[in-house]
Amino acid sequence: MTRSIIKIKTTFLDHQIAQLSAIAIGLSLIESVLPSPMPGVKPGIANIITLYAIYHFNFKTAMWVSILRVFASSLILGQFFSPTFMLSLTGSVFSLLTLYFAIKLPSKFFSPISFSIISSFAHIGGQLLLVRIWLIPHASIYYLIPIYSLAALIFGFINGWLTYRLLKDHNSL
């Protein structure tokens, strides 16, 4: 019996995406063991990698990293196709869509901190929209908007600052 070896041709970009995704998945897993004050308030440290990929490479890489991270971390945590996964995916898609337009802003005035805050707001916005439509179809979740917005600002700022420092150290700003 002849042994058949299936080999997929990979490019340098594929390796970069894989490496960045691996870091992002690791960060997601670390984050999942951290206690959260209330459901939905999470630091979202994996977004540092998404932002880093946008600056260091391009938007397409960042998109791959973000989506792969969502799928892989949910598979590892056993949340695949659960509401948690759906919320995570929605949040990522919304924040990527917003970032796609946000990165067109002049980099002279806007640093990763801005993009991090914008993307975390888009993330929680998308998630709240999904919760409102699908999980809790009741107007009472509007009470949570202020808390989530505040968390988005704080964690968005921290993540953005970390990304800024990271990019500065890697001379890609």
Partner 1 sequence: MKSRTKFFFGDSLIILISLIFIFFTFKNFWHFETGSVVQVNFQGKIYGNFSLFQDRKISLIGNEGESIIEIKSGRTRFKSAPCRNQYCIQQGWIHFTGQMLICIPNELSIEILGKTKAYDSLNY
Q: Which residues bind partner 1 (CB under 8 A)?
A: 105-106, 109-111, 113-114, 117-118, 121, 142-143, 145-146, 149-150, 152-153, 157, 160-161, 164-165, 168-169
Which long-range contacts (C-beta less than 8 Å, at least 24 apart) are formed by 102-107?
103/54, 103/59
Other beta carbons within 10 Å of 146: 9
Other beta carbons within 10 Å of 13: 13
Least separation in angstroms between residue 147's CB and partner 1 is: 9
Q: Quote the tokens at residue 54.
A: 């946008």
Least separation in angstroms between residue 89's CB and partner 1 is: 24
Tell me whether residue 79 or residue 114 sits nearer to partner 1 (CB atom). 114
3-class secondary structure, 21:
helix
Tell me whether residue 15 or residue 165 sits nearer to partner 1 (CB atom). 165
Tell me how long the chain is.
173
Tell me whether residue 99 or residue 117 sits nearer to partner 1 (CB atom). 117
Least separation in angstroms between residue 26's CB and partner 1 is: 25
Cα 76 to Cα 25, 80, 88: the distances in Å are: 9, 8, 14
Tell me whether residue 62 or residue 118 sits nearer to partner 1 (CB atom). 118
Least separation in angstroms between residue 171's CB and partner 1 is: 10
